[in-house]
Every structure is written in structure tokens, then in C-alpha cells.
Amino acid sequence: MTDAPTTDRWIRWLNTIQLVIAGIIILTPTAWMVMSSFKPSFEVTAYPPTLIFSPTIQNYIELTRTTPFFNYAINSMIVTVGSTSLGLLFGIPAAFAVSWTRISWPAILTLAARMAPGTLFLLPWYVMFRQVGLIGSYTALILSHAVITLPIVIWVLLPSFDSIPRSVFEAAQVDGCSVTRILWRIAIPLVGSGIAVSAILAFVFSWNYFLFALVLSNGDTKTLIAAAFNFVGEGSTQWGALMAAATLIALPPLLLAMLVQRWLVAGLTLGAVKG
Amino acid sequence: MASISIRNLVKRYGNLTVIPDLNLEIADHEFVVFVGPSGCGKSTLLRIIAGLEPISAGELFIGDRRVNGVPASQRDIAMVFQDYALYPHMRVYDNMSFALELRGTPKAEIDMRVKRAAALLHIEPYLDRKPKELSGGQRQRVAMGRAIVRNPKAFLFDEPLSNLDAKLRGQVRAEIKALSQQLKTTMVFVTHDQIEAMTMADRIVVLQNGTVQQYDTPEAVYERPTNQFVAGFIGSPAMNFFPVELQGEQAVFAQDGSAAPIDAESSSRLRKSGKAVLGIRPEHFAVAGDAAAGATVTVKLVEPLGSDTLIHFDLAGAAAIARVEPSLRPKVGDRVTLRPQPAHIHLFEAESGTVLR
Ligand SMILES: Nc1ncnc2c1ncn2[C@@H]1O[C@H](COP(=O)(O)OP(=O)(O)O)[C@@H](O)[C@H]1O
Ligand SMILES: [Mg+2]
């Protein structure tokens, strides 16, 4: 028999250790990346890494001078905002329909699609989009990225919709609401934080996804992350510029997450509705 | 305002038949209460009327309109749910105005109707609050308010009082009854509480296993139950039952062979089947001074209620209760002679439970 307070203390210790380890694993590369981006280029690859250096924005200047960085950023923004909007547009009604009818296979299907390796889609898509002359278009990129955003939206929102008492929907029916009206007037307002969470997650995942853009974009529509991928090994790798690019790429999702942190936690813990 | 007519209604969930074959006519302006034990199909029947559950077979009319396939949103009925089902994101005012707004009622009229309903239900101070800022009793009123701002064909209530404390329940019960007399709208009220049924209904539908056991006024259901189930379900404390049989010319308790004091008319009814179940309500025992006039029993437990006194005892192998004068306070172990009032004796067929007439 274990003594309850002792067990509690152990668990708290283990939690702390876990958090520290996770923190080191996640933060070390990030810190390394950010620091490297401010180092003079000869110091970036120095081993062991220098911890004390005179910071410079040379890498950032180099980055914007040698690449159409801001065009890529705008491309990324267009594709991410487009695919997130598309994901919300279809994902919200889809999640509601699954919750309403309790027919769950469509949701499972989207999850399966999300879990399948992206390479599986590449060839058929390439052929299909070429047939309709959409290779290199934003449309192709936005549509393909919907494979990322749609399942996220559906699966984040399903439990939120499920947590609304059935009788609330029934009351709305009796009051004269069609199902579409119930979605607009009752369900969506009640899962606001869930929608915010799903939008952020969809944004982040779409922003960071590079595989589809690698194949389906052209020089004009290339997304930031796909472009950054190309820095590696183009002639000699510009490590400093690459680090600067990576730092900038990481910024929007980070800012977004910080901005809506409180919502995010509320949404993830599903405080959605309590009668 | 409309009548409700249910014809040969069948409701199945997969293989489970919840309502085998049900017919019911509810008149315009009538206050009908569905009462029965938990799981007997009251809510199912109410939800079918509301249009929230599809019908497996049969027909449903609201007014002259056959509404079998009509969605709930187009039936023009109002419903109060057991958990109130208020819209959590809307203020009380918006909860009440929502249905009117959906129907395109002019703003001024919506405002007038919401204010009037709020006044009627004493919820004016809360109109700007969200449901989570209200107590259970206040939420219940808002749920009623949401129903009465409309002018629906019928009001449906599914156990709306079951989440209130006892005192509030009695109060709201009276209010709903007063409201029904004011509104003059068809009302269907579901409860498992026979006191609610007795106090509020114009007519009571006693349900068991999805079948109507009796459909009549509270007085008739109480005084002339059609079977042993209804007799036992309506009334509190419940009716006492004793198996009896005919021995020669004499009616006796089957258990111990002691004489059952039955009048001539009851005897003749008993004669038809030879044995039966005798039912007598607790208040229909008289205390007799003369031991020969009734059954002498030993007092097991005394419950003084103030208004009257309940005496628990065993008779002919069955536990029974008598309700007597409050001044009468026998002690446990005392011997008391109780005489069933012959006019109030019910006889039921032993197997089927159907009343013997
Ligand atoms: N959605 C459902 N699926 C299957 N069985 C159900 C469903 N709803 C109710 N039932 C069954 O129907 C019967 C009647 O239920 P209900 O009408 O809720 O009873 P009551 O309201 O009288 O307590 C019960 O046996 C219940 O288990
Ligand atoms: Mg019920």
C-alpha cells in the first residue's frame, strides 16, 4: 500500500522532470536557430557553438537580398489563410453534421486522409491539377492544403458540438429553427473557442506544411517553407540565411498562439458549454 | 390552440417496441397529464407529438392537420424540457424572443409579449441575465416564459418540475395550473408524480409499457380505476391489496381464511370468478369499536402527519396502511379493529388485474 501524499509528491516530481526534459528538447533547437540567425556567417557552423558573439542582422539582409523572401511570405499567407478558411467553411458544417446525425464514418475518413503520408496524394494531384491547368496556382495549393486543415477543424470541433446538450437543439427545433439555422444561431455561437482553436491549429499546420508546395507551386507561388527548403544545398548552403528564414517562418504561428493563448487553453480543455 | 389526435400509433427503437398500439384524443383547450412509472414511454409519446421522434406506424393529427412527416419546427407547438434547455449564449430576453423573431414578428410586438410573459412569471429583473446566472427555479420560469410568449397550438411539458425542490415544486405546480386556465391552450404535461397528475389535469392518461391503462378525469381515475395497476399507481399512500376468495357464501382472505368484510354487491361480483384481489385505499378504513365489525390488526408503525395519522399493519399476509383521524394515536403493538367501507371496496381479477364490475 502506498502512502497517498508520498505518491502525490512523486507525481509532482515526475511532472516537473517531464516538463524540463520536454522544454530542453523543444527549446534547445529553437534557441540555437534564433541565435544562429544573428551570428556572423563564419560563426554559424562553428563547433562547439559559440555562446557569446556580437549579434548582427547580416543574415537577414542577405536573405532579403538574395531571395524574394517577402513574396514567399505573401504566398504562404495566401495559401494558409485560404486553406484555413476553406477548412473552416467545410469543417464547421461537417463536424456539426457528424455530431447531429451521429454518423461518424465521414469524420473517420478525413482522419484517415490526414494520416496517410502526403506523398500518396502528390502524384494523382499533380496529374489532376495539370489536366485542369492549375499547377503553380494558388487554387491548387489552397485545395491541397485543405487536406491538412479540414480534418483538424472537424476533429477539434466534434467534441465541442457533442458537448452541447441535445435538448438545446431540440428546443431550437421546437422554436422553429431549421437545421441550418440551428447551426448558425445556436451551435456556432456556442463553440466559439473551439472554432478559434481549430483555426489556429489549422493555420499552424498549413503554414508549416511544405510537401505539396514543393511539387504544386512554381517560382511565383512558392510558399515560404518550401522556399526555405530550397536554401539547403543550393550551391553551398547559406546556413546563416537559412536560420534567419527559419526564425521568420516560426514567427507568425508563435505570435498567433501567444495572442490567443487563453482561448486556446479554454478550447482545448473543452469548457465549451455548461447548462 | 388545437386538438391532438393519435391513432394506432406504434413506436419502435430497432427491435424494441416502446409503444405497441396507442389511440388518444386530446380535446382543444384540454390539460392532459401523462403519468406512469419511469420508462413507460411518456417522454417518447410527448416527443412524438413535438415532432422530435419519428413515428413507426399510425397517424398523428394536430388540429385537422396530419403531421406525421412534419418537422418539429413547423408544428407550431411549444415545449418545456426537463433540463430547461435554455440557450446558454443568449440573455433571458433573447431566449424568450427567439421563436418570435424567427417568425418575423414585429419588434414592438415581440417586446410587448416578452415583457408580458416576464411579468406573468415574475422574471422581469432577470431579462438581461444569461441562463448560467440564474437559479434552478428561475431557469424553469424562463423555460416556461419561452413557451408562453408564443401563441402555439399546444404546450408540451416534460417533467418540468422534477429538478425543483419540494416547496418550489408545489408552488410552480399551482402556477402552471393557473396559467393553463388563463391561456386556454391545449396542454400536455408529462410526469411520473401522480400528485402532479391529480392536481393539474383535466384528464389523466395512465401509461404502462407504452399502453394506455386509463384515460379519464382525476376523480374517475382515483375512484374508479379500471385495473389494479392504475389503482396502485394513483393515490398516496398506495391502495392496499389483499387476495380474497369465496368460501361458500362467505368472502375470506385467501392467505389466512379470515372473513373479509364485504357487502352483498361485492360478494356477487366475487361470485363471478371465485377469487379476486380486494383493493381498499388507506382512507377507506373505518375504526370500529366492535371487534366483530371488521378485522382486528396489530399496529406495526404509526405516522402522525398532523392532518391525519397513518397506521401500518399486516393483514392476511400483506402489509397495509390505514389513514385515520389525527386524534387517533394508537401505540405500536396496540390492537385496532378496522372496517373497510364497503362502498369503497375494489375487486380486481386475480390474473389480469382488470376491475370486476
Ligand atoms: N433513443 C432511444 N433508443 C432506444 N430506446 C429508447 C430511446 N429513447 C427511449 N427509449 C426507451 O423507450 C422506453 C420509454 O422511454 P421514455 O419515453 O423516455 O420513458 P419515460 O419518459 O416514461 O420515463 C424506455 O424503455 C427507453 O429505454
Ligand atoms: Mg421521461
pLDDT digit string, tens, across residues B218-262: 999 999 999 999 999 999 899 999 998 888 777 788 777 777 777
Cα distance between residue B235 and residue B244, in whole Å: 22
- Torsion sign over Cα B46, B50, B51, B57: positive
Do B130 and B163 touch, CB atoms closer than 8 A? Answer: no
What angle do helix axes B92-102 and B136-148 make, rounded to 10 degrees?
20
Average pLDDT over residues A135-145: 94
Query: Could you give the percent of chain B with pLDDT greater than 90?
Result: 74
- pLDDT for residue B141 is more than 50: yes
A112 phi and psi, to 5 degrees? -60, -40
Q: Hey, are the CB atoms on B146 and A171 less than 8 Å from each other?
A: yes
**Nearest CA to CA, how far is B101 from chain A (Å)?**
10
Average pLDDT over residues A127-134: 93
Give the confidence band of B133 by pLDDT, cuts at 50, 70, 90. Answer: very high
Range of the domain at B335: 237-349
- The residue with greater pLDDT, B1 or A257, is A257
- pLDDT for residue A186 is more than 80: yes
The pTM of this model reads 0.86
B135 at A interface, C-beta within 8 A: no
Q: Which ligand is nearest to the CA of B35?
A: 1
Q: Of B216, B232, B248, which residue is a domain's last?
A: B232
pLDDT value of position B250: 75
Cα distance between residue A269 and residue A271, in whole Å: 6
pLDDT in tens, A10-23: 889 999 999 999 99
Which CATH number goes with the domain that contains B299?
2.40.50.140
pLDDT value of position B245: 87
Q: Is A68 helix (H, G, I), strand (E, B) or coil?
A: coil
Average pLDDT over residues A26-45: 85
Q: Hey, are the CB atoms on A176 and B102 less than 8 Å from each other?
A: yes
Q: Mind listing the domains of chain A with CATH numbers?
A: 68-268 (1.10.3720.10)
Q: Is B322 helix (H, G, I), strand (E, B) or coil?
A: strand
On whether residue B355 sits in a domain, the answer given is no
- pLDDT for residue A275 is more than 70: no
Looking at the fold, whether B262 and B154 belong to one and the same domain comes out as no
Q: Of B181, B214, B232, which residue is a domain's last?
A: B232
The C-alpha torsion from B126 through B132 and B136 to B137, rounded to 10°, is 10
A83 phi and psi, to 5 degrees? -75, -30
pLDDT value of position B237: 92
**Nearest CA to CA, how far is B23 from chain A (Å)?**
24
- pLDDT for residue A266 is more than 70: no
pLDDT value of position A233: 59
Least confident of A55-64, A121-130, B35-44: A55-64
pLDDT in tens, B48-106: 999 999 999 999 999 999 999 999 999 999 999 999 999 999 999 999 999 999 999 99
Looking at the fold, whether B94 and B221 belong to one and the same domain comes out as yes
On whether residue B27 sits in a domain, the answer given is yes
pLDDT value of position B168: 87
Give the confidence band of A169 by pLDDT, cuts at 50, 70, 90. Answer: very high
How far does residue B31's CA lie from ligand 2's centre (Å)? 18
Domain count, chain B: 2
B164 at A interface, C-beta within 8 A: no
On whether residue B328 sits in a domain, the answer given is yes
pLDDT in tens, A75-111: 999 999 999 999 999 999 999 999 999 998 988 888 8
DSSP H or E segment with residue B74: none
Do A205 and A150 touch, CB atoms closer than 8 A? Answer: no
pLDDT value of position A180: 94
Give the confidence band of A270 by pLDDT, cuts at 50, 70, 90. Answer: very low
Average pLDDT over residues A120-131: 91
pLDDT in tens, A153-164: 999 999 999 999
Do A119 and A182 touch, CB atoms closer than 8 A? Answer: no
CA nearest ligand 1 atom 25, residue? B39
Looking at the fold, whether B166 and B32 belong to one and the same domain comes out as yes
How far does residue B276's CA lie from ligand 1's centre (Å)? 33
Looking at the fold, whether B131 and B226 belong to one and the same domain comes out as yes
Q: What one-character DSSP code corresponds to residue B76?
A: -
- pLDDT for residue A245 is more than 60: yes
pLDDT value of position A93: 97
